[in-house]
């Protein structure tokens, strides 16, 4: 059992049942007994119903917090780390948050555990409608466990599409500006798949603003133009004052983002 706990820092009840089945012990009672025994022993802790974590030797079960990324990745069978959490996982977030966000089709709820929050967000409807939930999802290894996370290309579009899941606009801009390269085709293909005119306008504006750093030719962005909103849209719905219209993208942008005023602060 020690080998199982070492190799599975975060695990589900189903994994325990599979382990017991391999050893010739089956049934829900057997899994419950196993979990109850190791909880009392202090070898595992319960995160939520059906999800547990192993406790390293010498750690205090009541205060030990497992790797939050591993927890988020196991909150649902189809969980995908996304938005600001994906930026953090890839090492591109400007600042760290104690709320981790994952996309899922499962009816899960916000969970608070040891001061961390794990927020589920439904996969965007266009992805579900076209069976494209895994577009731009990559597998990564963390402590020997395979987890799913959005690629930088999908993350770029996702955070522009749902800034409410990604922090302030300064946080978003500073985080995205730390990325040296994007596969532009994947970025555009994903943006078109979401079929959101405002998101496409935001994306076009961001890519054009950073075209020199990202080595993007103006002609490469023309494919986005037919999908732009017919009327000017605000980049930030919550902050409509002091906006400047960027005619090429039919987007009203706050002055601090347009001029990236935070770069003047030393």
Segment 9-54, tens digit of pLDDT: 999 999 998 888 887 776 666 888 889 999 999 999 999 999 999 9
| pLDDT in the model for residue 239 | 62
pLDDT reported for residue 74: 95
* Residue 10, CA distances (Å) to 65, 146, 166 in order: 11, 11, 25
The closest of 119, 40, 115, 128 to 79, measured between CA atoms, is 119
Query: What are 246-262's pLDDT values in tens digits?
Result: 999 999 998 888 888 87
Name the percent of the chain lying above pLDDT 90: 76
- Over residues 106-118, the mean pLDDT reads 93
Closest CA to 213 of 173, 249, 185, 161: 173
**DSSP secondary structure, 85-124, as one string:** HHHHHTT--SS--SEEEEEESS----EEETTEEEEEEEPP
Round to whole Å and give the CA distance between 165 and 158.
9
- For residues 87 and 4, give the distance between their C-alpha atoms in angstroms, rounded to a whole number: 30
**CB-CB contact of 38 with 96 (8 Å):** no
Q: What confidence tens digit (pLDDT) does each residue in 224-253 have?
A: 999 999 999 998 876 666 789 999 999 999
Neighbours of 214 (CB within 10 A): 17
User: Which pLDDT band, with edges at 50, 70 and 90, does 266 fall under?
Assistant: very low
Terminal CA-CA length for the chain: 54
Cβ–Cβ under 8 Å, residues 183 and 100: no
Q: pLDDT confidence of 216, banded at 50, 70, 90?
A: very high
């Amino acid at each position: 059992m020690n080998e199982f706990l070492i190799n599975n820092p975060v695990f589900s009840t189903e994994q325990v049942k599979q382990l017991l089945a391999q050893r010739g012990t089956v049934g829900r009672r057997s899994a419950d007994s196993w979990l109850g025994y190791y909880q009392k022993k202090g070898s595992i802790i319960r995160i939520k119903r059906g999800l547990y974590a192993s406790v390293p030797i010498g750690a205090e079960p009541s205060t030990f917090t497992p790797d939050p990324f591993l927890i988020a990745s196991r909150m649902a069978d189809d969980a995908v780390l996304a938005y600001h959490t994906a930026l953090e996982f890839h090492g591109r977030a400007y600042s760290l948050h104690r709320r981790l966000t994952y996309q899922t089709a499962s009816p899960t709820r916000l969970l608070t555990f040891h001061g961390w929050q794990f927020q589920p967000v439904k996969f965007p409807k266009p992805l579900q409608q076209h069976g494209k939930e895994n577009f731009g999802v990559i597998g990564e290894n963390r402590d020997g466990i395979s987890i799913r996370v959005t690629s930088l290309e999908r993350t770029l579009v996702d955070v522009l599409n749902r800034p409410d899941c990604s922090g302030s606009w300064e946080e978003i801009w500073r985080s995205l500006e730390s990325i040296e390269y994007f596969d532009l085709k994947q970025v555009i293909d994903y943006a078109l798949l979401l079929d959101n005119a405002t998101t496409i306008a935001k994306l076009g504006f961001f890519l054009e603003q950073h075209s020199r750093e990202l080595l993007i030719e103006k002609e490469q962005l023309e494919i986005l133009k037919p999908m732009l909103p017919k009327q000017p849209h605000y980049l930030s719905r919550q902050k409509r004052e002091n906006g400047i219209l960027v005619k090429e993208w039919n987007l009203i942008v706050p002055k601090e983002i347009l001029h990236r005023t935070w770069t003047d602060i030393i």
